Chain A
Amino acid sequence: MREAWAPLAVLAAFAAAPLIGYSGAYETTLMARAMILGMAAVALAFLVGGAGLVSLGHAACLGVGAYAVAILDAHGVTEAAVVLPAAIGAAALFALATGAVAIRTSGVHFIMITLAFGQMAFFTASSLAAYGGDDGYTLYGRTEVAGTRLLEDRLAFHYLCLAALTLTWASCAMLLASRFGRVLRAARENAQRVEAVGLAPYPFRLIAYAIAGAVGGLAGFLLANATEFVSPATLSWQRSGELLFMVILGGAGRLWGGILGALVFVMLETWLAQQTPHWKLVFGPMLVLAVLFLRGGLAGLVARRG
């Protein structure tokens, strides 16, 4: 792998940042957001670039994970050993159930059905009056690890996010290189060919969808803890669109494009918002230009230079 240095360099930069002075609350919050969204984007890149499943409902998995944290919190359950598996499991089950239907379709139909499921999750979250409804739910504190308040520690949380991101990236890369991933990649390019060697793509795609959902649940767990707040906005279709955009900006053909896309997206969004209250007027056209002129995305650009 000639370009393996590039994703490692990005991960190393996250690892080094707190050691070279970027350890304040502002910087770490920003980086946590980039890493968490990056994790979700890597899982989405796995779906889009690996399996050819362009989901416009990926934020719903994030939301299911985040709401698992909130709901358990409301019932006094704050132990990570319970909360984390619940968040991941709930998101994976959500993806499995909705994917079972959505994966029977393809192309634009798949996009619309994943969007529809995402909106269903959004309105369900909005109607959960016991957990804040439209207003969202403020966590009393972060999830506890074996009874300790480890996640309240800024650096511990930073490196936990980094570990989760690294694990996500490495796992997705491993999956794509495996026999399982070979079937996914082949079916993305030519499903007829896969059937003609005796394999039905459906179960492979469904498992991939559930895996991406599980990663979304993990990201949702971290997001809820990072912001100590959960609201329906976590599952909005705009968030799904942003994730998809991060994947395209970073380069859908490469998993680590998701990390890069999320990082650039979060930084740009933050910086522009500081410059002008009308920052979205600038941000929107920049995104359009990036899609038009960055074929292969930022990761593709790096790979060609490297």
Chain B
Amino acid sequence: MADPLLRLEDLRKHYGGLAVTDGVTLEVRPGEIHAVIGPNGAGKTTLIHEVSGLVAPDAGRILLAGRDITRLSAPARVRAGLARTFQITSVVPGFTALENVALAVQARTGSSFRFFRPAAAEPATNAAAMAALAEIGLADRAAIPAGALSHGEKRALELAIALATRPRLLLLDEPLAGAGPEETERLIALLARLRPAYTILLVEHDMQAVFALADRVSVLVYGRVIATGTVGEIRGNPEVRAAYLGEEEA
């Protein structure tokens, strides 16, 4: 088996007396879509924040391709190859879709401490940004201000921005949150298209999406991983059914 791309080792985080991340150990293998599911308050978003560097864990280690990134700042982790999207879509509303992606391209290509030439007139940057938009199916919306895009388009744009950083691992925090049924289908199809090219750690509420996309699933309950396995294994796991799936159906 290949070495894991991402490895969380006994990660812990307490808020007062509440253990939000309670000894999480988890591996994401290269090329897989690994979903983290769990009931509300299970600590899924905190876990994503710890991996992306927005929340510092109290204990434990985070390894990206064997390199300890536990103490790196969030921007430094992005430069190390870890891109993320947010549960509440995060774009620059006043920028066009293209400039949103161009910002990510310029962060990756050369210094951003350039003061003289107009950034909008860099052909290579714009071409790379356009390619990322095309990959996500937003090429015809390139000139629209991001704030004027529909919810689903903003989601896709955020994904294009993440892809433009050329990540080794994509962290997706509930990419389907707030999307209508049609948008959900489109986004699932989009994520399925990305599958061959990217390794993805996905936190998602939508079971239909998780079972359609994920290679493996980890179930998080009260900050602990109670099971990890293939979709079939997780579906058949009685403990998971009791803790989570049953609850959903009730």
Mark A residues whose CB is within 8 Å of B.
Answer: 174-175, 177-183, 185-186, 189-190, 192-200, 203-204, 207
Contacts and interface: CB of A to CB of B under 8 A. Distances in A.
A84 B67 CA distance: 51
Given A177-B119, A178-B119, A182-B119, A199 B90 contact: no
Contacts of B84: 196
A175 B112 CA distance: 12
B116 A174 contact: yes
Interface residues of B, number: 39
B78 A197 contact: yes
Interface in B39-93: 52, 73-76, 78-79, 83-84, 86, 90-93
B107 interface: yes
A193 B75 contact: no
A69 B32 CA distance: 66
Interface stretch (B98-106, B174-182, B191-199): B98-106
Given A177-B119, A182-B119, A189-B93, A199 B114 contact: no
Interface-centre pick from A183, A194, A196 (highest chain B CB count, 10 A): A196
Contacts of B107: 197-199
A200 B92 CA distance: 15
Interface-centre pick from A174, A195, A200 (highest chain B CB count, 10 A): A195
A179 B106 contact: yes
B113 interface: yes
A16 to B, nearest CB: 30
A178 B161 contact: no
Contacts of B86: 192, 196
Contacts of A179: 106, 111-115, 117, 119, 122
A257 B207 CA distance: 53
Interface-centre pick from A192, A199, A200 (highest chain B CB count, 10 A): A199
15 contacts: A174-B118, A177-B120, A179-B111, A179-B113, A179-B114, A180-B113, A182-B102, A182-B103, A182-B112, A183-B106, A183-B112, A190-B93, A193-B91, A193-B103, A197-B161
Interface of B: 52, 73-76, 78-79, 83-84, 86, 90-95, 99-100, 102-104, 106-108, 111-120, 122, 161-162, 164-165
Contacts of B114: 178-180
Nearest to A187: B92
Nearest to B117: A178
A174 B116 CA distance: 6
A206 to B, nearest CB: 12
B90 A190 contact: yes
Interface-centre pick from B75, B91, B95 (highest chain A CB count, 10 A): B75
Nearest to B84: A196
Contact of B79 (A174, A192, A198): A198
Contacts of A196: 52, 74, 78, 83-84, 86, 90, 161-162
A195 B74 contact: yes
B94 A198 contact: no
A58 to B, nearest CB: 21
A197 B115 contact: no
Contacts of B115: 174-175, 178-180
Contact of A200 (B73, B106, B116): B73
Contacts of B91: 190, 193
A175 B117 CA distance: 8
Contacts of A198: 75-76, 78-79, 104, 107-108, 165
Contacts of B102: 182
A201 to B, nearest CB: 9
Contacts of B95: 185-186, 189
Given A186-B92, A189-B95, A194-B103, A199 B112 contact: yes
Contacts of B90: 190, 192-193, 196
Nearest to B80: A198
Given A178-B117, A183-B112, 8 more contacts: A174-B118, A179-B122, A196-B83, A196-B161, A197-B78, A198-B75, A198-B107, A199-B107
Nearest to B109: A179
A190 B92 contact: yes
A216 B118 CA distance: 24
Given A177-B119, A178-B114, A197 B94 contact: no
B94 A189 contact: yes
Nearest to A199: B107
A198 B81 CA distance: 9
A189 B92 contact: yes
B30 to A, nearest CB: 21
Nearest to B147: A189
Nearest to A171: B115
